[in-house]
């Protein structure tokens, strides 16, 4: 059975698309058959995160019947199938999102939908096309307050919320503590991804951070979420493995 997972957030600017793209790559590199679909049809930028030239065909062309889905799928070297949207076309009705997903059902283990931010109609349509959701938030009052609103929408739709991922974590006294966020959200915190300048570099270079700086702490944190999502234990690290990773991280800059 294909697991269709919407990545949702209560507000923009929390790094939802960055998390979506790197999660999808991480899943693919662990042997899962994965498709990543840009569900933010009025603010599409998944293609930018991969440095893709999506000028040939996009999800917009597919749902209009102007292209076959095979023409709009871009293969990433990780094995991931990317279905971008057209960032210059804001006219597409998100009601057609399910149409684009149907071709993946049964062929993929995961379809990851990078949904729009907020809790409006397009987010509802993304959730209605899914059977699971992950909530991405910063550990701050504004982000968490908005995340509670999108959680309410996911509950209304009947989607299984797999947990909350805290992103851009500075781990200082100005942030909400892990346990406070968990209590306010009423959900398990399944990942904490540290604030990392490498992420900005990766986007500028049109690469997932998993490939730009593969030994960074941000990548390790994304991988931890991936293992939880697929229900597998991460590989055990020996003391030598930890030393080696620390050395490689140092060389990585």
In sequence order, the 6+-apart residues with CB closer than 8 A to the CB of 109 are: 2, 3, 27, 32, 33, 34
Q: Work out the angle at residue 152's Cα, subtended by the Cα atoms of residues 146 and 153, and round it to the nearest 5 degrees.
A: 95
- Exposure string over 216-245, b if 16+ CB within 10 A, otherwise e: bebbebbbbbbebbeeeeeeeeeeeeeeee
* CA atoms of 121 and 29, how far apart (whole Å): 33
* CA atoms of 120 and 106, how far apart (whole Å): 29
The single residue listed with the structure tokens 């000028």 is 55
Residues 206 and 51 sit within 8 Å (Cβ to Cβ) = yes
In order along its 253 residues, the chain shows pLDDT tens digits of 899 999 999 999 999 999 999 999 999 999 999 999 998 877 778 999 999 887 778 888 887 788 888 898 999 999 999 999 887 666 666 666 777 788 888 899 999 999 999 999 989 999 999 999 999 999 999 999 999 999 999 999 999 999 999 999 999 999 999 999 999 999 999 999 999 888 889 989 999 999 999 888 899 999 999 999 999 988 776 665 555 555 455 556 5
* pTM score: 0.92
The single residue listed with the structure tokens 């997932």 is 208
Structure tokens at 94: 């998100």
Q: What is the pLDDT of residues 15-48, one digit of tens each?
A: 999 999 999 999 999 999 999 999 887 777 899 9
- Domain with residues 3-252, CATH architecture: 3-Layer(aba) Sandwich (3.40)
Give the start-end residues of each E strand in 19-159. Answer: 34-38, 74-75, 81-83, 110-114, 132-137
Structure tokens at 68: 């076959």
Structure tokens at 14: 């929390």
Nearest to 128 by CA among 152, 98, 101, 151: 98
């Amino acid at each position: 059975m294909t697991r269709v997972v919407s990545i949702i957030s209560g507000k923009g600017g929390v790094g939802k698309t960055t998390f979506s793209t790197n999660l999808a790559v991480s899943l693919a590199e662990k042997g899962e058959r994965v498709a990543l679909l840009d569900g933010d049809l009025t603010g599409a930028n998944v293609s930018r995160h991969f440095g893709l030239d999506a000028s040939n065909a996009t999800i917009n062309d597919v749902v209009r019947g102007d292209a076959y889905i095979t023409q709009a799928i871009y293969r990433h070297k990780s094995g991931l199938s990317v279905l971008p949207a057209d960032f210059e076309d804001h006219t597409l009705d998100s009601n057609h999102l399910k149409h684009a997903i149907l071709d993946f059902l049964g062929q993929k283990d995961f379809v990851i939908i990078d949904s729009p931010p907020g809790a409006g109609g397009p987010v509802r349509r993304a959730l209605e096309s899914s059977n699971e959701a992950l909530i991405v938030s910063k550990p701050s009052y504004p982000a968490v307050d908005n995340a509670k609103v999108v959680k309410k929408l996911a509950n209304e739709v009947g989607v299984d919320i797999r947990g909350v991922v805290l992103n851009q974590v500075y781990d200082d006294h100005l942030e909400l503590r892990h346990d406070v966020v968990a209590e306010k959200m009423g959900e398990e915190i399944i990942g904490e991804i540290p604030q990392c300048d490498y992420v900005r570099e990766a986007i500028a270079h049109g690469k997932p951070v998993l490939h730009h700086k593969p030994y960074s702490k941000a990548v390790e944190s994304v991988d931890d979420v991936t293992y939880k999502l697929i229900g597998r234990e991460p590989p055990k690290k020996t003391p030598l493995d930890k030393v080696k990773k620390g050395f490689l991280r140092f060389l990585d800059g």
